[in-house]
Amino acid sequence: MNLNQHQESVRNQARMMTRRHFLSRCNSGLGTLALAQLAGSSLIGDERASDTDNPLAAKPPTIPARAKNVIYLHMAGSPPQLELFDYKPELERRNMEPCPDELLEGKTFAFIKGKPKLMGPNYKFKQYGESGAWISETLPHLATCADDICFVKSMYTEQFNHAPAQLLLHTGNPQFGGASFGSWVTYGLGTENSNLPGYIVMVSGGTNPSGGKSLWGSSYLPSIYQGVQCRSEGDPVLYVGNPKGMTRETRRASLDTINTLNRLELQEYGDPETLTRIRQYELAYRMQVAVPEVMDISRESKSTLESYGAEPGKASFANNCLLARRLVEQGVRFIQLFDWGWDIHGTGPHDDLQTQFPNKCNGLDRPATALIKDLKQRGMLDDTLVVWGGEFGRTPMNEARNGSKYFGRDHHPDCFTVWMAGGGVKVGSHGATDDLGYKVAEDGVSVRDLQATLLHMLGLDPYKLSFPFQGLNQRWIGPANSPEVRHELLS
């Protein structure tokens, strides 16, 4: 059966599956009815639908997979690649020289006006590991993982404002209305642990990313595939806690009564949807235990907490990295982290290269390193794809907005660095920018190429993973077939 047919059938999966479930358990006499007659031909012979009760049930990949799970670390605002991984001695040499005219011709920047100056890297670089990866002094811990990482230095995008660039990266469409990476993956692969959401989102840095909740929305995909935001304050998942004055035993008794009455309704009305509702209430009851348990990092050893720099009860990127590992361990398919504060323009100490940037690097370095090492030590790194990056790059020129004395860089879509670890990536550096770090010079990887490659690694054919909506088979990689799976990034 081809994948498109399957997906067309999944379109009504929520409804369809209720019918099947109904048949298998219903005690009103309908259960004997042959499944095939009810469900229509579309689901018959769908060997991929292993547990048809549940649209989030794990499904095997459609092509050979390298990774099973994803942890995506998005640095909202976009970190300066020239201070982190893309070392440019020539730029260093020409520090504070006027930017050559040919680089400015016909270009529009978000903030830079007039004739900006080139600015060399503000931090020292060294090579690490057998691969000889260049990493700056801002990330000393991560440097020890150099040989676990695939650095893609030749990324480029089409967008140079935050929200459209984030939307393009995560939803495949610079405007609102696309479905996010995690929703595509859970739609394609389901999830392993039915007591937890399959797609979890956590935000640190105190601010939501510019693209807002749409970055983890499901858009035209059924909303069951949207990201569930876990929070560090209040209920970890909204409403997971019983109201004050209601114990878990009381909840059990009340759910039993709801189910009893719903079964009476089912006998009278025979609506398969009623049976699904009974099931969803039971699932909710199990989630009430599973979610707080998995979100409680105080269960981790002291040394683990220390390695991440995590502190129970605080909202931090470190805590979120540790939670990401716990969630993957529990069979959650997709974990999306957003960390705010990387928009290093240099308009003041809150967004410059001397104050804010090293703070952000400190907050990133240990947790990200611990995540890779922890996954590796537990034998989970092979199955788990860790992706790190922003939504675009930053200019090799100092922004100097309104004559600012602070150093910073403007938005730059033409080149940036993304790195990946685990999940069968090829360790080492890929691609290169020109001597000034202004444009891609070798082996450019577009955002859409990256998307095609990521889906491919997860065992989903990026060209075939689609959902019919508004007259088009919508895909994460967009309507054109030009995005390429970049096999050179895979081991």
Partner 1 sequence: MVSFPETWRFQVNAANGRIKIGNDLFVLKLLTFTNAESEHSGFFMILRILILSIGWLSMVAGLGNGQEVNFNQEIRPILSKHCLACHGTDPGQRKADLRLDRREDALAVIEPGDVDASDAFARITSNDDDRMPPAEHGGALSIDEIDLIRKWIEQGAPFQTHWSFVAPVKAQLPVLNEQLSRWTRNEIDQFVAAKLSQLELQPSAEAEPRRLIRRVALDLTGLPPSIEMVERFVASPTDETYGEIVDELLASPGYGEHWAAMWLDVARYADTIGYASDTNRIIWPWRDWVIDAFNSNLPYDQFTIEQIAGDLLPEATVDQILATAFHRNTLNNSEGGTSDEEFRTIAVKDRISTTINAWMGLTLRCAECHTHKYDPISQTEYYQFLDFFNQTMDEDKNDEQPLLDVYPKGREDELARLDAQIEQLQRELAAAESVWKSLGTDQNGSPDETREKIENDESAELTAAEYKKKTLEPLKTKLEVAIKNRNAPIRVPVMVERTSDQARKTHVMTRGSYLQPAEEVKAAVFDAFPPLPANAERSRLGVARWLVDAANPLTARVTVNRFWARVFGRGIVETEEDFGTQGSPPSNQALLDWVAVDFRENGWDVKRLLKQIVTSSTYRQTGVVSVERVRADPVNAFLSRGPRFRMRAEVIRDQALAVSGLLSAKQFGPPVYPPNPVKSVRSAFAGDTVWVESQGEDRYRRAIYTYLKRSSPHPLFDTFDMATREVCNLRRVRTNTPLQSFMTLNDRTFIEAAQSLAARMLLKSDSSTKQIQHGLELALLRPGSPDQISALEQLYSEMRQVYSAAPEDASQMTDAMESFGVDEETRRVKSVELAALTVVANVILNLDAFLTK
CB-CB contact of 338 with 230 (8 Å): no
Closer to partner 1 by Cβ: residue 272 or 444: 272
Spacing of C-alpha 294 from chain mean position? 19
**Which helix H or strand E contains 183, and what residues bound it?**
helix 181-189
- Which of 127, 207, 354, 491 lies at the binding interface for partner 1 (CB under 8 A)? 207
Residue 490 in contact with partner 1, rule: CB under 8 A:
no
Stretch 311-340 residues interacting with partner 1 (CB under 8 A): 340
Residue 223 in contact with partner 1, rule: CB under 8 A:
yes
Closer to partner 1 by Cβ: residue 265 or 311: 265
- Which of 69, 78, 274, 356 lies at the binding interface for partner 1 (CB under 8 A)? 274
Closer to partner 1 by Cβ: residue 63 or 253: 253
- Total residues interacting with partner 1, rule: CB under 8 A: 99
Q: How far is the CB of 276 from partner 1 (least distance, A)?
A: 5
Residue 298 in contact with partner 1, rule: CB under 8 A:
no
- Count of CB atoms situated within 10 Å of the CB of 143: 20
Of residues 238, 195, 235, the one with CA closest to residue 213: 238
Q: How far is the CB of 5 from partner 1 (least distance, A)?
A: 9
What one-character DSSP code corresponds to residue 239? T
Q: How far is the CB of 322 from partner 1 (least distance, A)?
A: 23
Cβ-proximal residues to 390 (8 Å cutoff; 6+ apart), any chain: 74, 75, 76, 77, 78, 79, 342, 416
Q: Which two structure tokens, joined as six digits, stand for 26?
A: 């219903």
Of residues 471, 15, 464, 476, the one with CA closest to residue 218: 476
Choices 94-102, 219-227, 312-320, 366-374; region in contact with partner 1 by CB under 8 A: 219-227
Q: How far is the CB of 449 from partner 1 (least distance, A)?
A: 18
Q: Which amino acid is present at 87?
A: Y
What one-character DSSP code corresponds to residue 66? S
Of residues 332, 317, 334, the one with CA closest to residue 371: 317
**Which helix H or strand E contains 360, and what residues bound it?**
helix 356-377
Q: How far is the CB of 142 from partner 1 (least distance, A)?
A: 26
Residue 257 in contact with partner 1, rule: CB under 8 A:
yes
Of residues 406, 412, 415, 434, the one with CA closest to residue 77: 412
Closer to partner 1 by Cβ: residue 95 or 242: 242
- Which of 108, 301, 303, 402 lies at the binding interface for partner 1 (CB under 8 A)? 108
Q: How far is the CB of 221 from partner 1 (least distance, A)?
A: 8
- Which of 80, 217, 367, 393 lies at the binding interface for partner 1 (CB under 8 A)? 217
Residue 42 in contact with partner 1, rule: CB under 8 A:
no
Query: What is the sign, positive or negative, of the torsion defined by CA atoms of 97, 103, 109, 115?
Result: positive
- Which of 110, 315, 380, 490 lies at the binding interface for partner 1 (CB under 8 A)? 110
Q: Categorise residue 473: left if φ over 0, alpha if ψ from -120 to 50, beta otherwise.
A: beta
Residue 45 in contact with partner 1, rule: CB under 8 A:
yes
Closer to partner 1 by Cβ: residue 204 or 369: 204
- Which of 261, 289, 482, 491 lies at the binding interface for partner 1 (CB under 8 A)? 261
β-pairing, 133-136 vs 125-128, is antiparallel
Stretch 5-24 residues interacting with partner 1 (CB under 8 A): 12, 14-15, 18-19
Closer to partner 1 by Cβ: residue 181 or 340: 340
Closer to partner 1 by Cβ: residue 247 or 301: 247
Stretch 147-186 residues interacting with partner 1 (CB under 8 A): 161-163, 175-177
Q: Which two structure tokens, joined as six digits, stand for 109?
A: 């920047």
Choices 25-33, 93-101, 320-328, 348-356; region in contact with partner 1 by CB under 8 A: 25-33
Choices 274-282, 299-307, 316-324, 380-388; region in contact with partner 1 by CB under 8 A: 274-282
Residue 190 in contact with partner 1, rule: CB under 8 A:
no
CB-CB contact of 48 with 60 (8 Å): yes
Q: Which two structure tokens, joined as six digits, stand for 291?
A: 């979610």
Closer to partner 1 by Cβ: residue 77 or 121: 77
Query: What is the sign, positive or negative, of the torsion defined by CA atoms of 213, 215, 220, 226?
Result: negative
Closer to partner 1 by Cβ: residue 30 or 432: 30
- Count of CB atoms situated within 10 Å of the CB of 259: 16
Stretch 276-295 residues interacting with partner 1 (CB under 8 A): 276-278, 280-281, 283-284, 287
Q: How far is the CB of 79 from partner 1 (least distance, A)?
A: 15
- Alpha helices in 378-408, H assignment, sequence order: none
Give me the helix-helix angle, 3-10 and 13-25, nearest 10°.
80
Tell me the per-residue interface mask from 408 to 427 with partner 1, x by CB under 8 A, - otherwise: --xx----------------
Stretch 450-489 residues interacting with partner 1 (CB under 8 A): 463, 468-472, 479
> What is the rounded distance in angstroms from the CA atom of residue 329 to the CA atom of residue 73?
17
Stretch 227-256 residues interacting with partner 1 (CB under 8 A): 228, 234-235, 237-247, 249-251, 253-254, 256
Stretch 355-394 residues interacting with partner 1 (CB under 8 A): none
β-pairing, 416-421 vs 384-389, is antiparallel
- Determine the Cα angle at 361 with ends 348 and 371, to 5°: 150
Cα 98 to Cα 95, 104, 120, 216, 346: the distances in Å are 9, 11, 12, 41, 18
